[in-house]
Amino acid sequence: MMKVPFLDLKAQYISMKEEIHAAIQQVLDKTAFAGGPFVAQFEKEFAAFCGCREGIGVGSGTEALWLCLLALGIGPGDEVITVPNSFVATAEAISFCGATPVFVDVDPRTYTLDPNKLEDYLKKRSQESETGNQQPATSNVFSARVPRSAFRIRAVIPVHLFGQPADMDPILDIARKYNLGVIEDACQAHGAEYKGEKAGSLGDAGCFSFYPGKNLGAYGEAGAVVTHNSELAGKMRMLRDHGQSKKYHHDVIGWNNRMDGIQGAILSAKLKHLSAWNESRRRNSQLYSELLKGADSIIVPGEAAYARHIYHVYALRVQNRDKVMNSLGERGISCGIHYPVPIHLTDAYKFLGLGRGSFPVAEQCADEFLSLPMFPELTPEQVEYVATEIKRLI
């Protein structure tokens, strides 16, 4: 029996041990632990990698989304659209601004925000709000960038789930029409492309997580926002550092969301390898899909014509998923589920009153998704073993 882990962070560490140790040593030598030159250097490099002018390093992907929403002026009474099949952090960031997440279902092929459903939903809500009262803009931190009206929807967060970008052109057109901010949740899409442009560079801003298991992972918690908008970047830089533009001069109420120096230095060292790692994930995914071709009861992930998918997660759809997952476990193969409960059905978001049946595609995905082992160092032999065992089981 072959052992195939879901993820192998040790293999990657060993492959670049000297570079990692040198990166950490630099920070120790300079004692630049909180923010500082190594974070600034990484911000510059990562923004350039994404094709953006500005990069803002923060403590996590959740913080990146949160600060971005605050900087756009989103606050209590506002609503922000996202999808129900994401990691819960996408909705939490909205809630932590005092705003309310509203969900629109996903496309059944790409598992990302369905632009047609988005347009239908906005049309319905704008018709409903035509007779509502007009309120002036208020916000808990900055004044609203988008004028407020009885129509409370202020922004949309498409999620580039598993490393495949959402269909951004129609989403951006619709957002423009309804005067919405667009924040890309690119927490799983480092280096993914939409029509040749990097994920994170298409909307008002793109948010990334460098949680250790991501395609670009820190050695602890970290995140970043990239944007072309210098004014927005300036606001986020203030917010992450106690609202100060100058030491001990606090212009707005902020928080402490600075990235650690050690994470900045490690991320700079790892960024040099990201494209090669993404290539390797793409090769592994292609091999999985080829080997699983004959298995009719399985749906393998597809790559949209507009996309360059970077397979943070390689998720199959299978009937009797839990049984298949347990049997694979018995054969030494570790799998994951991303995610077993769509956000609207979690206990945390029960208060929204959205029951089962509200978002049929997301709900079916949650029942059927099975994430196979996926990391750059996975060998073709391991991929073949996993595919053979799956075919034997179904």
Ligand X SMILES: Cc1ncc(COP(=O)(O)O)c(C=O)c1O
Q: Is 159 in the site for ligand X (CB under 6 A)?
A: yes
**Least spacing, CB of residue 161 vs ligand X, in Å:** 7
**Least spacing, CB of residue 185 vs ligand X, in Å:** 5
Q: Is 157 in the site for ligand X (CB under 6 A)?
A: no
The residue behind tokens 């496309």 is 107
Question: What tokens appear for 28 in the block?
Answer: 């120790």
Q: Is 223 in the site for ligand X (CB under 6 A)?
A: yes
3-class SS at 166?
coil
Residue span 88-127 as binding mask against ligand X, x where in contact by CB under 6 A, dash where not: -xx-------------------------------------
When the beta carbons of 90 and 285 are compared against ligand X, the nearer one is: 90
Angle at 305 between CA 300 and CA 307, to 5 degrees: 85
Say how far apart CA 72 and CA 236 lie, in whole Å. Answer: 9
Say how far apart CA 245 and CA 242 lie, in whole Å. Answer: 9
DSSP labels for 297-347? Answer: TEE-----TTEE---SSEEEEETTHHHHHHHHHHTTB--B-S-SS-GGGSG
Q: Is 60 in the site for ligand X (CB under 6 A)?
A: yes
Distances (CA, A) of 358 to 83, 86, 106, 155, 327: 12, 15, 12, 21, 32
Q: Is 342 in the site for ligand X (CB under 6 A)?
A: no
Q: Is 62 in the site for ligand X (CB under 6 A)?
A: yes
When the beta carbons of 62 and 164 are compared against ligand X, the nearer one is: 62
Say how far apart CA 349 and CA 245 lie, in whole Å. Answer: 36
Q: Is 9 exposed, middle or buried (0-12, 13-18, 19+ CB in 10 A)?
A: middle
When the beta carbons of 87 and 178 are compared against ligand X, the nearer one is: 87
When the beta carbons of 16 and 88 are compared against ligand X, the nearer one is: 88
Q: Is 87 in the site for ligand X (CB under 6 A)?
A: yes
Residue span 249-268 as binding mask against ligand X, x where in contact by CB under 6 A, dash where not: --------------------
Q: Is 209 in the site for ligand X (CB under 6 A)?
A: yes
When the beta carbons of 2 and 6 are compared against ligand X, the nearer one is: 6
Question: What tokens appear for 360 in the block?
Answer: 């049929």
- Interface stretch with ligand X, choices 128-136, 172-180, 182-190, 368-376 (CB under 6 A): 182-190
Residue of 78, 184, 185, 193 that binds ligand X (CB under 6 A): 185
Residue of 86, 112, 139, 263 that binds ligand X (CB under 6 A): 86
Residue of 187, 225, 266, 325 that binds ligand X (CB under 6 A): 187
Q: What share of the chain is helix, strand, coil (3-state, %, to 5)?
A: 40, 15, 40
For residue 157, give the nearest of 214, 104, 119 by alpha carbon: 104
Integer Rg of the chain from CA:
21
When the beta carbons of 213 and 234 are compared against ligand X, the nearer one is: 213
* Interaction site with ligand X (CB under 6 A): 60-62, 86-87, 89-90, 159, 185, 187-188, 209, 211, 223
